[in-house]
Structure 1
Amino acid sequence: MILACQNIQKAFGTDVILKNASFHIEDREKAAIVGINGAGKSTLLKIIMHQLDPDSGEVILAKGKTIGYLAQHDAVSSENTIHDELLSVKAELLAMEKRIRELELEMKSLSGEALENVLETYNRLNSQFERENGYAIQSEITGVLKGLGFTEEDFTKKVSTLSGGQKTRVALGKLLLSHPDLILLDEPTNHLDMNSIAWLETYLLNYSGAVLIVAHDRYFLNRVVTKIVEIDQGNVTTFMGNYSDYSMKKAQVRQAQINAYLNQQREIKHQQEVIAKLKSFNREKSIRRAESREKMLDKIEVLEKPTEVNTEIHIHLTPRVISGNDVLKVEGLEKGFDGHTLFSDLNFEIKRGERVAIIGNNGTGKTTILKILNGLLAPDGGSFTLGSKVHIGYYDQEHHVLHMEKTLFEEISDTYPNMSNTEIRNVLAAFLFTGDDVYKRIQDLSGGERGRVSLAKLMLSEANFIILDEPTNHLDITSKEILENALNQYEGTVLYVSHDRYFINQTATRILELTGNTLVNYIGNYDYYLEKKEELTAIYVPGENASSAVSSDKTETESKLDWQQQKELQAKERKRKNALKKTEDQIAALEERDAEIDTLLASPEVATDVGKCIKLSKEKAQISEELAALYETWEELAED
């Protein structure tokens, strides 16, 4: 065991955050802390790091073990280059290497006992240097930086010139390179793109120490952790397994608690009715029996009613009118900034009822596409056409649709002046803004709260084509699941940008990957994308992963298939798979019937009935012909 939290109690005023919280982390274990926003996850990490004192209880770190911590908004501030900032983590090893080189020079001029003493020191330092992987410092730093999404051109940039998200990635890189026995991470995936998150997953899975993570990324949790520590209304419960295991067990535990409470309440009510009836008889014997039951009832340890926390956002997305079948057509779209082309010749269509996710690395232009479609940016080339009766509702991650100087109430009432005060309050309450909360200014809200206001406006818009930019940012897991359900039940059309792989898996019917300045189309969810990525990238973006990047314009033009070809090929592949499955089912049914006929023909009652034998033999011959044809069809489909 590397860490133990025993009976941690913490309250802020009358608000109890943690109630006698106890759990432990084993060596090399990968665990996560989950709970709704405000549950106390970050508070618990700060208590573990002794940045915050508990009201009672204690945190025990195993003797001699080291701990590293990356808070949610931790960032590095330095005039060093990115590379030198990470190199500073290895200062002791660098000093050791310098001393080793000095000893090598000294030994050239020494002899006898002095040489032996220096040689002994040299061998000791050299062994330690090798043990701590000193010769791999540069390759390790390069691997971590590239894994976190920095290119070699970025290595020489000064940290002070970076964005907040990039500075956080530098801080994460420094923590990983320091190799503590226990790593604490608070929302580590917030500033990473999909490739970097996948790299971090693999890094943590193979990490020799223990890891404790606070994260809302369910896909990430499913891949990395084997234990979930849940904070629910101050109570801490440990579940073994990944997030999916926890989710299933949590539902079972919740249902068991509800059933136990309801059963006990029914039993108490029944006993009270019996007692009242016995007393109504007004007989001495009946009264004694009633009193005996009352004593038994008093001894029952009454279960607390499982409380319903007001955490559920109520989202009901309903289009005012149904759009035409053709919702959006994009042709030859092109955009660049400062001489750098983000994308060119983008062509795609979206049909009514589709839920399309745009994915890709940071900086490829995903949000730019959404801004162009919403008229916030002009394209450099190409055009797009909205279909008949299409009405757009837009949710942007920067919340430009909100007016920072307004209160929540004003934000809704000014946009929808026909709504009554009661209606506005009811809508805001559905998004967890009650009482005086409605008079808070937008500028004073957290990122998650602004997101909820944007979702409220989106719901009221009654749009039939919803465009979302990173809709799950700042949402806790419960809120994400509610949004997923709302989108899956929505009768309109959805186009969104997201790096939340679990969310994409749950909601997308199609994925467009922005890579190599173009789009690759995947007719399926994120699991399908992973299955087909290598194959389709090789077809549509040749050279993207090739060792040589040299390619003429002519070769690129010839090798890239246009959007229509992508659609036709993938539609053909789906048709082939469906036909293959249908053929296999037909073969299985006929083979089963053929075996039944053999059994019937071998039975005495059929064998002596000439008419039945002839009939079954003809059917068997017919099956044989049909099977022969089906086997050929199957072979053709399988070869294709």
Structure 2
Amino acid sequence: MAILYVNNIKKSYGVDVVLDGINLIINEGDKIGFVGRNGAGKTTLFKIITGSIKQDEGEIILQKGKTLGYLSQNLDIDENLTAFEEVMKVFSDIKEIEERMRQIEEELSDPNSDHERLLKEYGRLQVEFENRNGYSCESYAKGVLIGLGLLEEEISKKICYLSGGQKTRVALAKLLLKSPDVLLLDEPTNHLDLGGIAFLENFLKEYRGTVLIISHDRYFLDVITNKTVEVLNGKVEEYGGNYSYFIKERKNRIEQRVKEYELKQKEIKRLEEMIERFRSFNREKSIKQAESKEKMLLKLEENLGDRPITYEENVRISFDTRIKSGNDVLQIEELSKSYGEKVLFNNINLMIRKAEKVALIGENGRGKSTLLKIIKGEVQPDSGYIRLGRNVEIGYYDQEQRDLNPEKTILDEVWDEFPQKTVREIRNALAAFLFKGDDVFKKIKDLSGGEKCRLNLLKLMLKKANFLLLDEPTNHLDILTREELEDTLLEYDGTIFVISHDRYFLNKVVQKICELEENSIVEYLGNYDYYMAKKNAKEDEIVVNEEGKTKTQIEKEKKKLKQERDKIKNIKNEIKKVEAEIEKKEKNIAELEEELCKEEVYTNPNMTRDINQQIINLKDELEKCYEIWEELLANIEE
């Protein structure tokens, strides 16, 4: 049964059309993922649904008596309250019932009170209190806060003393506890650690209401959603499955539409030729036939529409190294760091070698970002030491974007850091990251989170460092940019040490996961799925670190991983060669077909025959190239 109708919603900002005739029917119990590029209009649509901004045309119809809940950027929380007090406001009516029950208990002690009336009221209130889980609401609220990653001591802190991420978790907990009929979440995993994300996933899987989610977390969308809505060019398109289903089905739909479009184009060309031929006869019957065909042609052209979009413009990232580092890139020994009584980590050890792609994970507040800053030299440890290897050059990506000057323009921000480059070189680099035309003169303070991320990635790319320290590099990036970053990092020949909660990213890019605990770093020689398999295995099956294995075992595993990486890299190189050959042959065919149109050729039978034979031979070779290309792609997918 439908709970929410979105009817012909239109929204523009000046000449920019953000949403153009959006229609959706959302059923009770649906869990829908909204995907699309940053700026596509997803958040605008959510704000229109909740009534926080007004649409230009159309209407939103919510089933009578149903409620909406929205996790927005402007957090609806009182910073003078503690985190626990703030979320308990959700249960204020239950607490009022409890308070009235206490009052009745006091009144019953008065021998002159109306005992019969009070007992009836008390009994009614007690039933309602129990039915609404009044006895467990406090523990339930604490459980949700802890599940989302707040520590016991943080729950009793005033919100004004919490970090931005912690405040977002309080607001999210408050929203989940409200249990609205329709729950709208905009990037809910951005400030959660892996444990918090897992808790939210389980919560939403069991949630009985309707859930609408904007997220670039592909793993999260796969687990939660049963439908996907893509927002593209002001329109929406629905898919009856999760993110992985959407990717496959979208490709199929685009291929089908391209085929239909090309068939219509061929039919248009055929009709045009027939019309020209009929008119050349210059007879009454042939002219009528031509006019009939023209009507068919006009109708076909009216229904043709634009050529289907087969790709979206995306950033072009390419990480290179200026010089090669030594084999031992980073050595950490007996490292400790505390802030007051808060111990982040104590006596930890770690070794990272050249070309390794290592992820650092752990609970929020454990000191992951602090560890990267110690390696960078920005923060001093309490004890222990850091050793960087020979010729190691660090490139650092800060999730907080603190190294960007908000008053500078995009162009000046990059040019000031790389003054040796020409204006053309800087503008070409900016264009590759989708900063084009007058966009380069925008001030950084006016950029979105995703635009700031792209700008920092560009600066990191231009630095050509051989050791990348990346702190949540996929936060605020749309899915296409995430995929481009992942593919680029896979090709990168330097060393990577990355903090990330993006499980899709961790599965695809990293070869080793290090879990930061208070007194150790626990190492897992594999990606995220390998890490989870080991975490869920019996304790005696878990390999906690390299000291738990023989040197031979470690080297064998590393050798196997390297062989697999090298195999994929070789296949990708072969694919590039084949693609270049395909492009070359297609160009040759096009040139020969142009030759056939020249008068000196089509009037010469011998030349025409020779060129036609060359085209046939090239097309046969092209077909073989495509077969090889498909086989290579299949080998990568395996």
Normalising by the smaller structure, the TM-score range is 0.7 to 0.9
1:101 alignment partner in structure 2: 102
Identity, in percent, stands at 47
- For the residues of structure 2 that align with 1:403 and 1:465, how far apart are their CA atoms? 24
Shift of 1:115: 4.8
1:17-96 correspondence runs (5 A): 17-96=18-97
- Paired residue secondary structure (2:220): helix
Describe the shift of the 1:420–1:238 C-alpha distance in structure 2 as closer, same or farther (beyond 3 A): same
Q: Deviations over 1:23-63 (max 9, x none)?
A: 23222322222221111111111111122222222211112
For residue 554 of structure 2, what is the amino acid of its counterpart? A
Contact 1:523 1:570 in 2 (8 A): no
Which residue identity does 1:565 align to in structure 2? Answer: G
Distance 1:78 1:408 in 2: 34
Does the aligned pair in 2 maintain the 1:72–1:187 contact within 8 Å?
no
CA distance in 2, matches of 1:415, 1:575: 38
Q: Describe the shift of the 1:394–1:13 C-alpha distance in structure 2 as closer, same or farther (beyond 3 A).
A: same
Q: Distance in 1 between matches of 2:320 and 2:271?
A: 48
Match of 1:252 in 2: 252
Moved more, 332-341 or 147-156: 332-341
Q: After the TM superposition, which residues 545-560 of structure 1 pair with which residues of structure 2 at under 5 Å, given as runs?
A: none
Q: Which moved more, 1:437-446 or 1:296-305?
A: 437-446
Shift of 1:199: 0.7
Partner in structure 1 of residue 587 of structure 2: none
Q: Which residue of 1 aligns with 2:158?
A: 158
Cα offsets for 1:407-440 (capped at 9, x unmatched): 2222332333332222211110111111122122
Question: What does 1:532-543 align with in structure 2 at a 5 Å threshold?
Answer: 532-535=534-537
Q: Which amino acid aligns with 1:201?
A: E
- 1:204 paired residue number: 204
2:334 touches 2:349 (CA, 8 Å); kept in 1? yes
Q: CA deviation at 1:345?
A: 3.1
Given that residues 399 and 450 in structure 1 are in contact (C-alpha distance below 8 angstroms), is that contact kept between their aligned partners in structure 2? yes
Q: Distance in 2 between matches of 1:343 and 1:401?
A: 26
1:312 and 2:319 are equivalent in the alignment: no
TM-aligned CA deviation for residue 219 of structure 1: 1.4
Deviation at 1:568, TM superposition (A): 4.4
Q: Is the 8 A contact 1:347 1:563 kept in 2?
A: no
Other-structure match for 1:397 = 399
Task: Quote the Cα distance in structure 1 between the aligned partners of 2:469 and 2:277.
Answer: 64
Instruction: Say if 2:535 and 2:542, in contact at 8 Å, map to a contact too.
Output: no
Partner SS state of residue 65, structure 2: coil
With 219-228 and 281-290 compared, the bigger mean Cα shift is at 281-290
Residue 600 of structure 2 aligns with which residue? Answer: none
Change in CA separation of 1:292 and 1:144 when aligned onto 2, cut-off 3 Å: same
Partner of 1:215: 215
- Relative to structure 1, the CA distance from residue 128 to residue 385 in structure 2 (aligned partners, 3 Å threshold; closer, same or farther) is same
Amino acid at match of 2:511: T
The equivalent position to 2:412 in structure 1, one of 410, 413, 417, is 410
Residue 179 of structure 2 corresponds to which residue in structure 1? 179
Distance 2:33 2:552 in 1: 42
Pairing of 1:213-612 with structure 2 (within 5 A): 213-276=213-276, 279=279, 289-300=289-300, 301-307=303-309, 311-535=313-537, 563-565=546-548, 568=551, 571=554
> Taking structure 1 as reference, are residues 142 and 567 closer, same or farther at Cα in structure 2, changes over 3 Å only?
farther
Inter-CA distance 281–329: structure 2 relative to 1 (3 Å threshold): farther
* Partners of 2:83 and 2:159 within 8 A in 1: yes
Q: Which has the larger radius of gyration?
A: 1
Any conservation in 1 of the 2:254–2:309 contact (CA below 8 Å)?
no
Q: Match of 1:193?
A: 193
Q: CA deviation at 1:315?
A: 0.8
Offset from partner CA, 1:189-239 (integer Å, 9 cap, x none)? 222111111111111111222222222221111111112122111111221
SS, match of residue 140 in structure 1: helix
Deviations 1:304-341 (A, max 9, x none): 22247864111122334444444333333333333543
Q: Determine if contact 1:520/1:540 at 8 Å carries over to the other structure.
A: no
Cα 1:108–1:77 shift into 2, 3 Å:
closer
The two structures, once aligned, show a CA RMSD in angstroms of 3.0
Letter in 2 for 1:136: S
1:82-111, Cα deviation, whole Å (9 max, x unpaired): 222222221111111222333345456679
Residue 314 of structure 2 contacts residue 481 of structure 2 at CA under 8 Å; is this kept in 1?
A: yes
1:72, CA displacement in angstroms? 2.8
TM-score (norm 2): 0.80
Query: How far apart in 1 are the matches of 2:457 and 2:557?
Result: 35
- Whether contact under 8 Å (2:343, 2:518) holds in the other structure is no
Contact 1:228 1:243 in 2 (8 A): yes
Q: 1:297 to 1:532 in 2, by over 3 A?
A: same
Note if 1:141 corresponds to 2:141: yes
SS in 1 for 2:20: strand
Deviates more, 1:361-370 or 1:341-350: 341-350
Structure 2 SS opposite 1:343: strand
Deviation by residue 1:451-470 (Cα, 9 ceiling, x = unmatched): 11111122222233322111
Distance 1:563 1:571, change over 3 A: closer
State the partner residue of 1:131: 131
Deviates more, 1:359-368 or 1:326-335: 326-335
* Matched position secondary structure for 1:133: coil
Q: Secondary structure of the residue that 2:337 maps to in structure 1? A: strand
Contact 1:310 1:432 in 2 (8 A): no
Comparing 327-336 and 469-478, the one that deviates more: 327-336
Match of 2:633 in 1: none
Q: 1:515 Cα shift?
A: 1.6
Q: Do the aligned residues in 1 keep the contact of 2:69 with 2:184 (CA within 8 Å)?
A: yes
1:510-540 CA distances to partner (integer Å, 9 max, x unpaired)? 1111123321111111111111125587898
In the alignment, is the contact (CA less than 8 A) between 2:75 and 2:171 conserved in 1?
yes
**Which secondary structure does the structure 2 equivalent of 1:313 belong to?**
coil
CA contact (8 A) 1:9 1:54 kept: yes
Instruction: Determine helix, strand or coil for the equivalent of 1:348.
Output: strand
| Distance in 2 (alpha carbons) for counterparts of 1:388 and 1:117 | 85
Pair 1:534–1:162, CA change in 2 (3 A): same
Partner of 1:128, secondary structure, is helix
Using a 3 Å threshold, how does the CA distance of structure 1 residues 108 and 360 change in structure 2: closer, same or farther?
Answer: same
* 3-state SS in 1 of match to 2:136: helix
**1:632 aligns to what?**
none
Q: Which runs of 5+ in 2 are unaligned?
A: 562-638
TM-score with structure 1 setting the length:
0.80
The letter for the 2-side match of 1:523 is L
User: CA separation in 1, counterparts of 2:402 and 2:369?
Assistant: 13
Which amino acid letter does the alignment assign opposite residue 157 of structure 2? Answer: K
Secondary structure of 1:466 counterpart: strand
- Residues 395, 401 of structure 1: 8 Å contact kept: no
